[in-house]
Amino acid sequence: MQPTTLTWQGLMRQMERALPFTQASEHSLAYFKYPKRTVRFSLPVRMDDGGVDVFTGYRTVHSIARGPATGGVRFKEGLTAHECEVLAGIMTLKCAVMELPLGGAKGGVDVDAEKLSKKELERLTRRFTSELVDFIGPGEDILAPDIGTDDQVMAWMMDTYSEQTGTTTTGVVTGKPLGLGGSFGSKEARGRAAAQVTERVLKEDGVDGEVTVAIHGFGNVGRELARRLHLQGAKIVAVADQGGAIYDSSGLDVESLSAHRDFTGSVLGFAPEIKSGHLLTLDVTVLALSADWGVIHEGIAPGVRAKYILEAANRAVLPDAEEHLAGIVIPDLVASGGGVTLSYLEWVQDANSFFWAEDEISGALSRRTAQMLDQVLTARRTLRTDLRTAAYALALNRLHEATTLRGVYP
Ligand SMILES: NC(=O)c1ccc[n+]([C@@H]2O[C@H](COP(=O)([O-])OP(=O)(O)OC[C@H]3O[C@@H](n4cnc5c(N)ncnc54)[C@H](O)[C@@H]3O)[C@@H](O)[C@H]2O)c1
C-alpha cells in the first residue's frame, strides 16, 4: 500500500513553509534539520523451533531541546531507520504543539509481530530493550506503544530495563498495564482526543447538519475514534482495516462492528464490501486516517472528495499530496496529540509514584486538547494560513525559544 516517499525533505519543506510565521530563523531551524541520534542494532532471537533469527532494531531521538525524548516503538515489517527519523521529527513538533516538556523519538523492529509466538515476542522485546539500556530512561528517552506493540510489550520493556539497571523504573516506558504504573485512559486517549479535535474544528468552521465519516484503520485509534464520533452524533458510513473495507450509507453500528472484528479478525462480512481505495474517495464530511503513514499520496489526492481529512495516524497525508488538498487536512500535530499527552501524564504519575483517578486523567486530557485547539485555531486565523502551517509555526516558536535559552554547549 505504501509508496516509498516518507521523506525527510518533506518534513523540512513543511517546517520551512512555517518559518516566515515564526520568530525562528534559518539558523534555529538548523537544530532540527538532523536527528540527534539514530541507533541501529541487530537482534538475535531464539525461536521456538530452536533456531536463531536475527532482526534489525532502530531507535531515533530527534530532539531533546524541550525535555527528554519520547515516542512509540513499532514492530512492523519493513521498518527502516529513515521511517523512524521522520516520525521522530514529527514527535518533536507534536510535543511542542501540545506544550509538553518532551522531545521526539521513534523506533522499533523490522518484524511482522503477528508471525511470532508470545514467547518469541517476549524474547525479541527483551533483547531490543537490553540493546537500548544505555540510551533510554525516564530522563533520557521514554518508550511508548505503537503499531504491533501493546501494554504487555511495554511491561516486558519496563521489567528488562529495571532488571539491568537494578532499580524498578516504571517511568522508562508508558502505555503500561494499570497494575504496573500505567495510567487510566491510555488505550482510549488518541481516539478520544481526535474526536474532540474533529468536533471543535467542524464547529469553528460552521459545518452543520449531518456529519458522515469514513474510517481507514480500525485498531486502537480507529475504533475509539469511531465510537466517540458516533456518540457525538456522527454517522460512520464506511470502515477499512487490513482485510478490506465495508460501506453502509445508513450508518454502521460501531459497537456491533467492534465485536464482529474481535470475533472474526476483520471488518469484512459486517456490511457490503467496497474497495479500500474507494473508501478514500467517498463523498463524506470526514475521512479519518488511523492506519499508518502515506495512505493519501499524490496518485490518490486529486480523487479525494471528503470535506476534511483527519490525520489520526502520523504523516498519513504525504506532503506532495497535500498540495492538492489545500485547507482540508486536520494534521497529525493537531489530530493525534492525545497519545503523547497521555504518555506525559503517565510519566508524571510514575515520577511521583502518585496515581490519579480516571476522571482526573480524562479531564486533564480534554483540557490540554482544548487549550492546544484554542492556540492553533487562533494562529490559523491571525496568520491566515492552514492548520498544518499554524501548528508548525507554534511548534517552531517554542523550539526556537528553548534552543535560544539553552544556548550552545560547550
Ligand atoms: N495506539 C497508540 O498508542 C499510538 C501511539 C502513537 C501513534 N499511533 C499511531 O496511530 C496509528 C494507528 O495506531 P493503532 O495503535 O491504532 O494501530 P493498530 O495496529 O492497533 O491498528 C492499525 C489498524 O490499521 C489497519 N490497517 C493496516 N493496514 C491497512 C491497510 N492497508 N488498509 C486499511 N487498514 C489497514 C489495521 O488492520 C488496524 O485496524 C499508527 O500510525 C500509529 O503510529 C498510535
Read off the CATH number of the domain in which 98 is found.
3.40.50.10860
Spatial separation of the C-alpha atoms in residues 340 and 321, rounded to whole Å: 26
Question: Ligand 1 centroid vs 324 CA: distance in angstroms?
Answer: 25
* Cβ–Cβ < 8 Å for 337, 309: no
Percent of the chain with pLDDT strictly greater than 70 = 99
Sorting pLDDT into bands at 50, 70 and 90, what band is 1? very low
Q: Average of pLDDT values for 138-154? A: 97
Give the closest residue (by CA) to ligand 1 atom 4.
146
Decide which of 316, 335, 354 is a domain's last residue.
335
Q: What is the pLDDT of residue 25?
A: 86
pLDDT at 207 over 50: yes
User: How many domains does one find in the chain?
Assistant: 2
Spatial separation of the C-alpha atoms in residues 343 and 103, rounded to whole Å: 12
**Domain assignment of residue 18, yes or no:** no
Give the closest residue (by CA) to ligand 1 atom 26.
242
Q: What is the pLDDT of residue 2?
A: 46
**Domain assignment of residue 64, yes or no:** yes
Q: What is the pLDDT of residue 323?
A: 87
Question: Ligand 1 centroid vs 402 CA: distance in angstroms?
Answer: 32
Do 151 and 221 lie in a common domain? no
Do 163 and 201 lie in a common domain? no
Q: Which residue has the cell 523506533?
A: 107
Do 133 and 202 lie in a common domain? no
CB < 8 Å & 24+ apart, contacts of 326-330? 326/386, 327/386, 327/387, 328/304, 329/386, 329/387, 329/388, 330/197, 330/198, 330/201, 330/387
Sorting pLDDT into bands at 50, 70 and 90, what band is 190? very high
Q: What is the pLDDT of residue 26?
A: 83
* Cβ–Cβ < 8 Å for 308, 316: no
Do 130 and 223 lie in a common domain? no
Q: Average of pLDDT values for 215-228? A: 96
Ligand 1 cavity residues, CB under 6 Å: 1, 72, 145-147, 175, 190, 216-222, 240-242, 276, 290-292, 313-314, 339
DSSP 299: T
Q: Containing domain of residue 65, as a range?
A: 34-180
Do 262 and 280 lie in a common domain? yes
Question: Ligand 1 centroid vs 312 CA: distance in angstroms?
Answer: 9
94 is in an annotated binding site: yes
275 assigned to active site: no
Instruction: For Cα atoms 186, 240, 84, give the angle at the middle one, nearest 5 degrees.
Output: 55
Q: Which atom of ligand 1 is nearest to the CA of 221?
A: 16
**Domain assignment of residue 341, yes or no:** no
Percent of the chain with pLDDT strictly greater than 90 = 94
* Cβ–Cβ < 8 Å for 291, 222: yes
* Cβ–Cβ < 8 Å for 332, 351: no
Q: Which atom of ligand 1 is nearest to the CA of 293?
A: 41
Question: Ligand 1 centroid vs 6 CA: distance in angstroms?
Answer: 17
pLDDT at 313 over 60: yes
343 is in an annotated binding site: yes
Do 91 and 114 lie in a common domain? yes
Do 255 and 331 lie in a common domain? yes
**Mean pLDDT, rounded, of the chain:** 96
Q: Which atom of ligand 1 is nearest to the CA of 241?
A: 34
Q: Which atom of ligand 1 is nearest to the CA of 312?
A: 10
* Cβ–Cβ < 8 Å for 165, 94: no
Spatial separation of the C-alpha atoms in residues 113 and 119, rounded to whole Å: 11
Do 43 and 123 lie in a common domain? yes
**Domain assignment of residue 127, yes or no:** yes
**Residues 233-271 pLDDT 10s:** 999 999 999 999 999 999 999 999 999 999 999 999 999
Q: What is the pLDDT of residue 27?
A: 83
Decide which of 149, 180, 211 is a domain's last residue.
180
Spatial separation of the C-alpha atoms in residues 344 and 171, rounded to whole Å: 10
Q: Average of pLDDT values for 153-158? A: 98
Q: What is the pLDDT of residue 5?
A: 73
What is the interface pTM, i.e. ipTM, of the complex? 0.95
Give the closest residue (by CA) to ligand 1 atom 30.
242
Q: Average of pLDDT values for 51-55? A: 98
Among 215, 221, 310, 343, which residue has the most ligand 1 atoms within 8 Å of its CB, making it the best to mutate?
Answer: 221
Question: Ligand 1 centroid vs 244 CA: distance in angstroms?
Answer: 14
pLDDT at 278 over 90: yes
Give the closest residue (by CA) to ligand 1 atom 5.
146
* Cβ–Cβ < 8 Å for 230, 257: no
Residues linked to residue 274 through DSSP beta bridges, in sequence order: 245
Identify the active-site residue in 36, 106, 176, 187.
106
- Here the cell at position 297 is 499520496
Q: Which atom of ligand 1 is nearest to the CA of 87?
A: 43
Do 99 and 206 lie in a common domain? no
Decide which of 298, 313, 335 is a domain's last residue.
335
**Domain assignment of residue 274, yes or no:** yes
Do 119 and 231 lie in a common domain? no
pLDDT at 315 over 80: yes
Q: Which residue has the cell 520551512?
A: 16
Residues linked to residue 234 through DSSP beta bridges, in sequence order: none
Neighbours of 307 (CB within 10 A): 16
Q: Average of pLDDT values for 323-335? A: 94
CATH of the domain at 262: 3.40.50.720
Do 80 and 146 lie in a common domain? yes
Q: What is the pLDDT of residue 154?
A: 98
Question: Ligand 1 centroid vs 217 CA: distance in angstroms?
Answer: 6
Sorting pLDDT into bands at 50, 70 and 90, what band is 347? very high
pLDDT at 385 over 60: yes
Spatial separation of the C-alpha atoms in residues 215 and 280, rounded to whole Å: 9
Give the closest residue (by CA) to ligand 1 atom 11.
313
pLDDT at 4 over 50: no
**Domain assignment of residue 43, yes or no:** yes
Do 227 and 327 lie in a common domain? yes
**Domain assignment of residue 380, yes or no:** no
Q: Average of pLDDT values for 370-376? A: 98
pLDDT at 156 over 50: yes
DSSP 42: E
**Residues 12-42 pLDDT 10s:** 999 999 999 999 988 888 889 899 999 999 9
Among 372, 289, 300, 369, smallest CA distance to 329 is for 289
**Domain assignment of residue 144, yes or no:** yes
Give the closest residue (by CA) to ligand 1 atom 9.
313
Q: Which residue has the cell 497521555?
A: 342
Spatial separation of the C-alpha atoms in residues 292 and 242, rounded to whole Å: 11
Instruction: For Cα atoms 296, 302, 306, give the angle at the middle one, nearest 5 degrees.
Output: 70
Q: What is the pLDDT of residue 31?
A: 87
